[in-house]
Amino acid sequence: MFFHPMDFLIIIAFGLSMWASFRVRGTFNKWSNVPVYSRMTGAEAARRMLDANGLYDVPVEAVPGTLTDHYDPMARTVRLSEPVYFQSSISAVSVACHEVGHAIQHQVHYPMLVARHKMFPVVNFASGVAPILILAGFFFQSIPWLLEIGIIFFAVAVAFQLVTLPVEFNASNRARNEMVAQGFISNEEERGVAKVLNAAALTYVAAALISVLELLKYIMIFNGRNNDD
């Protein structure tokens, strides 16, 4: 009941997720010590990239913490962690421009971002209810629809994570193109930028992989019960 062959793959995926988390912090710290040739801070790079795309009304704010950077679509604000906001490094400029990439996606109505925003209210509910229903389905096997509905809700949450992947990769691509085109970085610094952005992207890939494997596990359990009946 509590162990399934898929658990082995899930454990491996969790290991990958932990490694990705350590890697993103290590990569960020490493390239935080490498000054960017343009001498721009993360805040300056974000402001220039926003202005270059006509987003003059989108503010750039500093927030406490490390790697707390994000774009708030409700407030239409780019929020950068203090190390990114104030530092002039490859890490700071890379992360800042990535978040501006999301603001540009919002401006041009990037389809995957639009889909992600529309899914959010449903996912917020589904992700909270799914674990309860799935757990109840395991303990109350005489009520098979509990597990079935739980799997459906969990699938919605997994779909949200999968939609997030192209959103993040697209934002990074926009950032890299803009940074080169506007002279924020030199050609030699592209390697460092790629390492910072790729490390961050890997955390999303690992999280999505875990969710997909868990979903497959629940589907296999559900199908196995139906075959036994």
Determine the residue type at 16.
Answer: L
Q: How far is CA 192 from CA 17, 30, 78, 187, 198, in A?
A: 22, 10, 23, 10, 10
Catalytic-role residue among 44, 61, 99, 190 = 99
Q: Among positive and negative, which fits the CA dihedral 181, 87, 79, 81?
A: positive
Residue type at position 109: H
Catalytic residue flag (residue 214) = no
Cβ 156 vs Cβ 215: under 8 Å:
no
Using CB atoms within 10 Å of the CB of residue 59, give its burial: 0 to 12 exposed, 13 to 18 middle, 19+ buried. Answer: middle
Residues with catalytic roles: 99
